[in-house]
Chains A and B, each alone.
Chain A
């Protein structure tokens, strides 16, 4: 519960932070809300020599509208996503997801950038970010690049970010016409993280046929994933209960579910199927 010694920096703008990161690379860790990193440091599972606190980089904390997209700065706290009126109107999936993260203390400190960069396989945001088809902007001293959500999550606690890169922005599409969304979650009772979380974005044509659907699943496998088999089975079909059930039965196809003290692989896969169905039904009802 006591971390090893480290040197602490608190830059006040992004270029300062990037310069520090460039200088110390692997030996440095960025500190955002600290709600994943500090517990790991206290358990000495992470022992960074340098800590670069992004808390002073105010330019990374914002929620902006940009045409039919929304831009969210990496240092935006969960509570600000949860309570954003703009997001509630134009991207309710994110507010709904943020609301299910941890407890009030966690949401007051944790950031969207920190959550995504940490890539905990049971974190909530990744499901929504995948279902929304978000794009993530990373910058380093060399320049910037956009990473598609699906390319971003590489494996458990591993992302496509290079050590000298900072995740600065998340870009998500605004809610389209005849589109409904839902995030449902079964929490692991000790940690509150997801044993299974399913995010759905569902667009229905005027005849009640599924025009498009995206399903993001977290907590089930070593990284959050898009349940493509469910999507393919549903797209173009009339959205009746049996179609939804048949499609949802494919929610764990092709994934290797996690197994631990809290749930077997079999049960996790089962939860993915049941809750995909329930999430799709809920998304449909929300249109």
Chain B
């Protein structure tokens, strides 16, 4: 190993990329098993209907069909789709994998066909006849919880799924003492995650071993295994879940889906491997959606811009059922409701509303983009009402750097931060003063420049176990093979984030080996010790720390063995550098890491009591969340004649703690900003009044294309987190959290001269044009 060579902090290209770019990775659909049959699912065409009968005879007789099952056929055999988050008085409707008696959203599975190939399976689906009795659909969440709305789950007598509240300080007093109350109703529209790879499942049952193997495109193989075992009434150690290459998740695969249990059941029942691959249309209809919040926000403010308190009334569009984490998502909005500001008084109320639509759940950012959007829009509204610069209002309300760990009104303790510095840096990069002058000049010429600021803090590294339904730790095994090569088994389940690279960087530095000597393995419950998975910007901060912990154990043992091999009694006299152990008082006496590894396995001469082998497992339990922060500034120009928005600049200053690999961090920030741009300007899941998903295709639902994306000027700060020894905070969601309000604020700043104060997303040209014209 070359002297002093370090990998952490270096922009190392991803080791994953070669196989991904050359098409050599294995996704679920690439998996082929002997005698495999194919499943296709009949889904409800009504948003709300009674199912009087399902006639499957013609489908059963169709060419190549092996079996057809309805909800009645499997209701005893397969347990309900689970929800892991519990809120007080949460209404949990029964959620069968195939509908019985009633359907509650368009796309709800009703029956499944298994046939010799996917074409025959799909053809036979058309031969199933369902007798529906359509019921009035409830699409609008506000209507759903209003008097007289049709009830979706009759057993509850209401469409209110939950009411959740959070208070801090004295909110009544804040409003009494306010000079001014600024209020705004805002919508975080429903979004569709649109991972490039749709979901898919292959299941195979080995009757001899009594083992069910399920390959599925998931972010949480171990949690899924536990749930599948329960749904299928199998022992957990008889279920093996494998997440092969996963083509994006964004939270949409942080779940337990009906199809995962159903396909597993079919494999056992029919004694053949079964494959089901979701079509894009199914992906739109029946993979979770994100956001879907209507909020009324009130701010109690002083004339100088000090915000005394915030009151939120939020209606969360739940959809027809809870998926795994549905009710938890808006609670994250509540927890982050004071954002990066010192706002001592807070009240948040969230009402969850059942609607005849697909469930909402975690979508990149999961509750935090909603919070940041609401608050950053409010900051601009407050600035507008008081005639202050948006920068001034933000600066006025930031906590000082010496106030960290900073306690929030929502009960969190922000670990570390310097919010002023991030904003100042972004302002400097963008040339804020100059832009404001240019804006004035352009307005004289009838051109409309807008500058939008968003300062944010996010809650990451989810999280301490008490805060998460299934534990918030992460696990890692570092296995040094006899040849000195290193295998890392991580309980995290990366699916595009690049931890095969960043974890290898951590290992290479700690053990003084080359990157190529390290292999990071994940996503197979038969190989990897129990783990939690990848979501909530946790993989590096929690999973990476677990790797680091296991490395310390390995190093400790290797050092003791090295001392023994060097004939040194005093272990403290052994140092380790650049892949070699040597005596501090006699550096010529040395043994390489590889030699120590081999000696550990040959076990000819071990210190008394030492076990052979060289590997260690570490479960890391974080003591707190981490709180990355930053400032984003968008500069746009609006064409007043058409409402078209063009980007001029986009500046992002992010502080995600210590950076393991700047390329990966930039990649995460870029992707996040692009998804934000989608929410700000383009995307919206639109259901019509009958509950039909109008934006059910990529030709109707606009995700950002490369040509929509401006040049992104990214810069960063590194304020290490005290929460973990790596100092890492997490960056998977920062862009998505920060950018949406920056872009919306920019557009609204541009059209401010027309008297437009607020518009709900997506800010499509026609909407802007109408607002300008109406003004």
B673-697 with Cβ < 8 A to chain A: 682, 686, 694-695, 697
Q: Taking the nearest CB of chain A, how far is it from the CB of B640, in angstroms?
A: 11
User: Interface code B525-545, partner A: CB below 8 Å = 1, 0 otherwise?
Assistant: 000000000000000000000
Residues in B neighbouring A89, C-beta threshold 8 A: none
Are A191 and B699 in contact, CB atoms less than 8 angstroms apart? yes
| Residue from the list B119, B122, B123, B642 in contact with A271, Cβ < 8 A | B642
Residues in B neighbouring A274, C-beta threshold 8 A: 641-642
A1-43 with Cβ < 8 A to chain B: 1-2, 4-5, 43
User: Interface code A246-280, partner B: CB below 8 Å = 1, 0 otherwise?
Assistant: 00000000000000011110010011001000000
In the complex, A88→B678 CA distance in Å?
35
Residue B385 at the chain A interface, CB threshold 8 Å: no
Residues in B neighbouring A186, C-beta threshold 8 A: 642, 644, 765
Are A1 and B699 in contact, CB atoms less than 8 angstroms apart? no
User: Interface code A154-197, partner B: CB below 8 Å = 1, 0 otherwise?
Assistant: 00000000000000000000000000000000101111110000
User: Interface code B694-715, partner A: CB below 8 Å = 1, 0 otherwise?
Assistant: 1101111111010010000000
User: Interface code B244-285, partner A: CB below 8 Å = 1, 0 otherwise?
Assistant: 000000000000000000000000000000000001110000
With A189-B682, A190-B698, A190-B699 known as contacts, the answer to whether A2 contacts B766 (CB < 8 A) is: no
Residues in B neighbouring A262, C-beta threshold 8 A: 700, 764
Chain A binding surface, main DSSP class = loop
Are B279 and A1 in contact, CB atoms less than 8 angstroms apart? yes
Residues in A neighbouring B769, C-beta threshold 8 A: 267, 270
Closest residue of B by beta carbon distance from A190: B702
Closest residue of A by beta carbon distance from B642: A274
In the complex, A267→B122 CA distance in Å?
40
Are B702 and A263 in contact, CB atoms less than 8 angstroms apart? no
Q: Taking the nearest CB of chain A, how far is it from the CB of B647, in angstroms?
A: 14
Residue B118 at the chain A interface, CB threshold 8 Å: yes
Closest residue of A by beta carbon distance from B682: A189
B107-163 with Cβ < 8 A to chain A: 118-119, 122-123
User: Interface code B732-775, partner A: CB below 8 Å = 1, 0 otherwise?
Assistant: 00000000000000000000000000000000111001100000
Closest residue of A by beta carbon distance from B708: A189
In the complex, A242→B111 CA distance in Å?
64
Are B708 and A261 in contact, CB atoms less than 8 angstroms apart? no
Closest residue of B by beta carbon distance from A191: B699
In the complex, A1→B698 CA distance in Å?
13
In the complex, A262→B764 CA distance in Å?
9
Residues in B neighbouring A4, C-beta threshold 8 A: 123
The interface on chain B, measured as residues whose beta carbon lies within 8 A of the other chain's beta carbons, has a size of 28
Q: Taking the nearest CB of chain A, how far is it from the CB of B402, in angstroms?
A: 46
Q: Taking the nearest CB of chain A, how far is it from the CB of B639, in angstroms?
A: 9
B77-132 with Cβ < 8 A to chain A: 118-119, 122-123
Are A1 and B700 in contact, CB atoms less than 8 angstroms apart? no
Residues in A neighbouring B701, C-beta threshold 8 A: 190
B275-301 with Cβ < 8 A to chain A: 279-281
Residues in A neighbouring B695, C-beta threshold 8 A: 190, 261
In the complex, A191→B699 CA distance in Å?
4
Q: Most B CB atoms within 10 A — which of A190, A264, A270?
A: A190
In the complex, A186→B764 CA distance in Å?
12
In the complex, A186→B646 CA distance in Å?
13
Are B281 and A1 in contact, CB atoms less than 8 angstroms apart? yes
With A190-B700, A190-B702, A263-B766 known as contacts, the answer to whether A2 contacts B122 (CB < 8 A) is: yes
In the complex, A267→B767 CA distance in Å?
10
Closest residue of B by beta carbon distance from A275: B642
Residues in A neighbouring B119, C-beta threshold 8 A: 2, 5
| Residue from the list A1, A2, A189, A267 in contact with B702, Cβ < 8 A | A189
In the complex, A165→B627 CA distance in Å?
67
Residues in B neighbouring A5, C-beta threshold 8 A: 119, 123
Residues in B neighbouring A2, C-beta threshold 8 A: 118-119, 122, 279
Residues in B neighbouring A191, C-beta threshold 8 A: 698-700
A178-233 with Cβ < 8 A to chain B: 186, 188-193
In the complex, A192→B707 CA distance in Å?
11
Closest residue of B by beta carbon distance from A193: B699
Q: Taking the nearest CB of chain B, how far is it from the CB of A113, in angstroms?
A: 22
Q: Taking the nearest CB of chain A, how far is it from the CB of B594, in angstroms?
A: 48
In the complex, A188→B705 CA distance in Å?
12
Q: Taking the nearest CB of chain B, how far is it from the CB of A260, in angstroms?
A: 9
In the complex, A103→B708 CA distance in Å?
13
In the complex, A193→B644 CA distance in Å?
17
User: Interface code B640-661, partner A: CB below 8 Å = 1, 0 otherwise?
Assistant: 0110100000000000000000
In the complex, A5→B279 CA distance in Å?
18
Closest residue of B by beta carbon distance from A1: B279
Residues in A neighbouring B765, C-beta threshold 8 A: 186
Q: Taking the nearest CB of chain B, how far is it from the CB of A160, in angstroms?
A: 26
| Residue from the list A1, A190, A192, A267 in contact with B766, Cβ < 8 A | A267
In the complex, A261→B764 CA distance in Å?
11
In the complex, A192→B702 CA distance in Å?
9
Residues in A neighbouring B123, C-beta threshold 8 A: 4-5
Q: Taking the nearest CB of chain B, how far is it from the CB of A259, in angstroms?
A: 11
Q: Taking the nearest CB of chain A, how far is it from the CB of B495, in angstroms?
A: 22
Residues in A neighbouring B770, C-beta threshold 8 A: 267
Q: Taking the nearest CB of chain A, how far is it from the CB of B40, in angstroms?
A: 8
Q: Taking the nearest CB of chain A, how far is it from the CB of B772, in angstroms?
A: 12
In the complex, A189→B697 CA distance in Å?
13
A64-85 with Cβ < 8 A to chain B: none
Residues in A neighbouring B686, C-beta threshold 8 A: 261
Q: Taking the nearest CB of chain A, how far is it from the CB of B768, in angstroms?
A: 11
In the complex, A261→B682 CA distance in Å?
12
Q: Taking the nearest CB of chain B, how far is it from the CB of A54, in angstroms?
A: 24
Q: Taking the nearest CB of chain B, how far is it from the CB of A114, in angstroms?
A: 17
Q: Taking the nearest CB of chain B, how far is it from the CB of A263, in angstroms?
A: 6
Are A261 and B122 in contact, CB atoms less than 8 angstroms apart? no
Q: Taking the nearest CB of chain B, how far is it from the CB of A217, in angstroms?
A: 16
In the complex, A267→B698 CA distance in Å?
22
Q: Taking the nearest CB of chain A, how far is it from the CB of B128, in angstroms?
A: 15
Residues in A neighbouring B280, C-beta threshold 8 A: 1
Closest residue of A by beta carbon distance from B643: A267
In the complex, A98→B418 CA distance in Å?
51
Q: Taking the nearest CB of chain A, how far is it from the CB of B282, in angstroms?
A: 8
User: Interface code A121-148, partner B: CB below 8 Å = 1, 0 otherwise?
Assistant: 0000000000000000000000000000
Q: Taking the nearest CB of chain A, how far is it from the CB of B197, in angstroms?
A: 14
Q: Most B CB atoms within 10 A — which of A1, A191, A263, A271?
A: A1
B384-409 with Cβ < 8 A to chain A: none
Are A264 and B766 in contact, CB atoms less than 8 angstroms apart? yes
Q: Taking the nearest CB of chain A, how far is it from the CB of B336, in angstroms?
A: 30
In the complex, A271→B769 CA distance in Å?
11
Residues in A neighbouring B644, C-beta threshold 8 A: 186
Residues in B neighbouring A261, C-beta threshold 8 A: 686, 694-695, 700
Residues in A neighbouring B698, C-beta threshold 8 A: 190-191
Closest residue of A by beta carbon distance from B118: A2
In the complex, A1→B278 CA distance in Å?
9
Residues in A neighbouring B641, C-beta threshold 8 A: 274
Residues in A neighbouring B122, C-beta threshold 8 A: 2
In the complex, A270→B770 CA distance in Å?
11
In the complex, A270→B765 CA distance in Å?
12
Residues in A neighbouring B764, C-beta threshold 8 A: 189, 262
In the complex, A263→B700 CA distance in Å?
12
In the complex, A267→B641 CA distance in Å?
11
Closest residue of A by beta carbon distance from B278: A1
In the complex, A43→B284 CA distance in Å?
14
**Could you show 21 A-B contacts with beta carbons less than 8 Å apart?**
A1-B279, A2-B118, A2-B119, A4-B123, A5-B119, A103-B705, A189-B682, A190-B695, A190-B697, A190-B698, A190-B700, A190-B702, A190-B703, A191-B698, A191-B699, A192-B705, A193-B699, A261-B700, A267-B769, A270-B642, A274-B641
Nearest 5 Cβ contacts at the A-B interface: A190-B702, A1-B279, A189-B702, A191-B699, A2-B122
Q: A186-B642, A263-B766, A271-B642 are in contact. List 6 more A-B contacts (CB 8 A).
A: A1-B281, A2-B122, A188-B702, A189-B682, A190-B700, A262-B764
